[in-house]
Amino acid sequence: MARDTMTAEERIVATINLEPVDRVVCAPIIEQYAGQFAGITNKEYMWDWEKAMQATEKVWEAYPVWDSNAYMIHGRYAPVGQKCGPGRLRMPGTELEDNAQYQIIEYEAMTRDDYALLKEKGFMEYRLTFLERAHQVSREEVTAAQKEMARLRQDEIDRTLRRGQSLTWGAIMGVVPFDNFSMMRSIDKFYKDMFQIGDLLDELLPIVNNATIAGCEAVTKMLGNNRVFVGAVRGAGQFISKKHFDRFVGPFMKILVEKLAEKNIVPILHCDADWTKNLEFFLELPKGKFVLELDGATDIFKAYEILKGHCSIKGDVPAALFTVASASELDEYAKKLLSTFKNGEGFMYSSGCNLPMNAKHENVKVFFDAVEKYGRYN
């Protein structure tokens, strides 16, 4: 068997730069599956940091070919997630059964009147108000939880680097402006805003975008890693028309990536849902300056046809192949993925979004085994 000749960091940097590597980057989002793999309940995983970290370690010990940690548990870990997580969270062991996966509850935590508040106070200040409301906690509790989350993130970083893995991203910088509004307002209310007060959104989306760019700059300086996670879902062509994408989504993603590229920051655009209709758009973003992460809903083979040589693509073994398909079906899909993308074409092999916590262990093994079987280049 050939050996790795690059470090994990060299490999991911080369992949983003569309350069040849020794073998494919393997960067699944492990998260809650680790607890199941380690034989603990999800309550233990979500409420006991040390157990969660040990569970993650066990996955890596079993599958050391996992060389890039797309980590995010520090923001969902129950004691902080329920005070400053992305939305109201229901957790195993408290609101849910001990081995249930956590849930994000979406509701209208931001009212239409709050747009004026956001305009007056700025996005980051308003975001704190939103978090107070979403989690029903005080400002002091929100900021204390944010500090704790930063400490846990550093712990995840330290453990990741000690294992010799790369950080797929240094920090998670939330979502693109359109998704921020959609999730804070709830989609039912936000679609009405698009219909009724689109001009106000035109005015406010740049404010949110600028705050996100500034946040990315600050956090990359602080962590010394120039990769950031930026999520996008609701603006996909699966949901909204091209007309609205061109008005409310595309321009801001373009500005975001361009401004970050100027600062040598690489956004990993975590695009959940089906973006197949939008793939041509990504050609408008600067070449080799971002990663397009797909979750299995977008046609990744179409993405390859359109974006080959333009950007790194991360993905996308779908959740169903881990949970309900046979191991051989997963192997077949992994083979197709890893033989479609050629060395130097910027592919990062991954689960589509999170590896499901109810994944079959034999399918997970096949997922990792595929790296040596089909993704070894040297």
Scored b (16 or more CB within 10 A) or e, 239-271 reads bbeeebbebbbbbbbebbbebbbeeebbbbbbb
Q: Does 197 bind another protein (CB under 8 A)?
A: no
Which of the ranges 134-142, 148-156, 254-262, 347-355 carries the binding residues for another protein, by CB under 8 A?
347-355
**Distance between alpha carbon 373 and the CA centroid of its chain, in Å?**
26
Residue 332 interacts with another protein (CB under 8 A): yes or no: no
Min dist CB 55 to another protein, Å, is 18
Kindly state the tokens that stand for 339. Answer: 């033989």
Q: Which of residues 170-189 bind another protein (CB under 8 A)?
A: 186-188
CA–CA gap between residue 234 and residue 175 (Å, rounded)? 10
Q: How many angstroms separate the first and last alpha carbons of the chain?
A: 10
User: Which residue's CB is nearer to another protein, number 125 or number 188?
Assistant: 188
23-60 burial, b at 16+ Cβ within 10 Å, e below that, comes to bbbbbbbbbbbbbbbbebbbbbbbbbbebbbbbbebbb
Q: Do 347 and 5 contact (CB within 8 A), yes or no? A: no
Q: Select from 6, 11, 70, 86 the one that contacts another protein (CB under 8 A).
A: 86
Binding of residue 241 to another protein (CB under 8 A): yes
Does residue number 103 form part of the binding site for another protein (CB under 8 A)? yes
Site for another protein contains 363 (CB under 8 A): no
107 counts as binding another protein under rule CB under 8 A: yes
User: Is 93 near another protein (CB under 8 A)?
Assistant: no
Does residue 356 bind another protein (CB under 8 A)? yes
Using rule CB under 8 A, residue 293 touches another protein: no
Which ranges of 26-93 would DSSP assign to H, the alpha helix? 33-38, 42-47, 49-62, 78-84
Is 80 among the residues that bind another protein (CB under 8 A)? Answer: no
323 near another protein, judged by CB under 8 A: yes
Binder among 92, 174, 267, 296 for another protein (CB under 8 A)? 296
Query: If binding is defined by CB under 8 A, does position 277 make contact with another protein?
Result: yes
Task: Walk across the sheet containing 347-351 and list its strands.
Answer: 25-26, 347-351, 312-317, 291-294, 266-271, 227-232, 171-175
Residues 206-235 that bind another protein (CB under 8 A): 233
Element holding 205 (H helix, E strand): helix 198-223
CB nearer to another protein: pick between 19 and 95: 95
311 binds another protein (CB under 8 A): no
Other residues' Cβ atoms within 10 Å of the Cβ of residue 365? 14
**Token reading at 101:** 């996966």
- Residue 127 phi/psi, 5° resolution? -55, -40
Binding residue (CB under 8 A) for another protein from 58, 159, 244, 335: 244
Burial of 158 (0-12, 13-18, 19+ CB in 10 A): exposed
User: Between residues 86 and 345, which has the closer beta carbon with respect to another protein?
Assistant: 86
Which of 124, 122, 102 is CA-nearest to residue 42? 102
CB 19 within 8 A of CB 344: yes
| Candidate segments 9-17, 156-164, 322-330, 366-374, binder of another protein by CB under 8 A | 322-330
CA dihedral (36, 39, 45, 47) positive or negative: positive
- The distance of closest approach from Cβ of residue 246 to another protein in the complex, given in angstroms and rounded to an integer, is 13
Question: Least separation, in Å, of the C-beta of 304 and another protein?
Answer: 20
Considering beta carbons, is residue 170 or 352 the nearer one to another protein?
352
Q: Kindly state whether residue 319 participates in binding another protein, applying the rule CB under 8 A.
A: yes
Q: Provide the binding-site residues for another protein, judged by CB under 8 A.
A: 86-87, 90, 101, 103-107, 186-188, 191-192, 194-195, 233, 237-241, 244, 272-273, 277, 295-297, 318-320, 322-325, 352-354, 356, 358
